[in-house]
Amino acid sequence: MGESPSTQPPGGGELAGQVAVVTGAAQGIGRAIAEHLVSAGASVAVVDVHGAGPAASEIEQLGGRVLAVEADVTSESATAAMAESVHHAFGRLDILVNNAGLFTTLDPGPFESIPVQRWRRVMDVNVMGPFLCARACVRFMRLQGGGRIINIASSTPFKGTPYTLDYVTSKGAVVALTRALAKELGPQSILVNAVAPGLTLSDGLLERSGVFDQKIAASASGRALERPQHPADIVGAVRFLSGPGAAFITGQTLVVDGGSFLH
């Protein structure tokens, strides 16, 4: 039996006084990240296209300051308004976690069967979303002399995972965006890193377990740590990259997949 992910709050309030935006935080990995950052002392904006309000109310029970923002990350005006409202509510904006993404709703299949419209939508949400959110939030990070951007990528571009070519390509782009943006924003003390999870039993994935059953079994047995991956396995990496211990780390992608892809 492998070791289970820790559900203990990180304690120490290492992010006390910091303000974090987590996109796609109504459920799944984003929700777990938002909860963990609140437990670490941050005030958190729960941003989602659906269900931000109810999720924020529940996360607030953990004791932190939480703001719900209903916004589609593909909308230039909505992302700009989102960052404004976070800054207005909390007076600063330190951390952006670009987590919103399309994956669990995508049916795997041969690349020729991917409709052009789906390809465009996946690129819009998974690549343009982080671009627009970064653009909206960086403005406020600059005002206070620095910040952190953490992009949720995926281990799939490193493994060349077949049968979701649009998704894998989009996450490869997220890694490239992370590197180039880190170089561009480094002089302004804005650090940009990515976390690349393996296949994770998020809410979205569990809702479609029939589609993903075989992949879930195969991915667990392909790991050095042979068990399924949970959202709680990812949150520590995001907290680390948000915190003081990562002050000289930028442009990197940390693969968190229980030792499946090694680099």
Ligand X SMILES: NC(=O)c1ccc[n+]([C@@H]2O[C@H](COP(=O)([O-])OP(=O)(O)OC[C@H]3O[C@@H](n4cnc5c(N)ncnc54)[C@H](O)[C@@H]3O)[C@@H](O)[C@H]2O)c1
- Catalytic residue status for 163: no
* 182/151 Cα distance (integer angstroms): 11
- Of the candidates 18, 39, 43, 99, which one interacts with ligand X according to CB under 6 A? 99
Binding mask 61-80 for ligand X (x = CB under 6 A): -----------xxx------
- Only segment of 46-54, 61-69, 82-90, 135-143 that touches ligand X (CB under 6 A): 46-54
Measured from the CB atom, is 250 or 260 closer to ligand X? Answer: 260
Element (H, E) at 255: strand 253-256
258 binds ligand X per the rule CB under 6 A: no
- Only segment of 18-26, 34-42, 110-118, 136-144 that touches ligand X (CB under 6 A): 18-26
Angle at 241 between CA 200 and CA 138, to 5 degrees: 105
- Of the candidates 27, 161, 164, 193, which one interacts with ligand X according to CB under 6 A? 27
* 88/65 Cα distance (integer angstroms): 14
24 binds ligand X per the rule CB under 6 A: yes
203 binds ligand X per the rule CB under 6 A: yes
48 binds ligand X per the rule CB under 6 A: yes
CB of 20 to ligand X, least distance (A): 16
* 43/187 Cα distance (integer angstroms): 26
101 binds ligand X per the rule CB under 6 A: yes
Measured from the CB atom, is 41 or 171 closer to ligand X? Answer: 171
100 binds ligand X per the rule CB under 6 A: yes
* 132/37 Cα distance (integer angstroms): 22
State whether the Cα torsion 92-254-151-28 is positive or negative: negative
* Pick from 238, 217, 210: nearest CA to 15: 238
133 binds ligand X per the rule CB under 6 A: no
Measured from the CB atom, is 41 or 193 closer to ligand X? Answer: 193
26: Cα separation from own chain's centroid: 12
Measured from the CB atom, is 12 or 109 closer to ligand X? Answer: 109
* Pick from 235, 244, 159, 175: nearest CA to 202: 235
State whether the Cα torsion 195-96-134-126 is positive or negative: positive
Helix axes 129-143, 76-90, angle to 10 degrees: 30
CB of 210 to ligand X, least distance (A): 15
Q: Catalytic residues, which ones?
A: 167
Binding site for ligand X (CB under 6 A): 23-24, 26-30, 48-50, 72-74, 99-104, 125, 129, 152, 154, 197, 199-200, 202-205
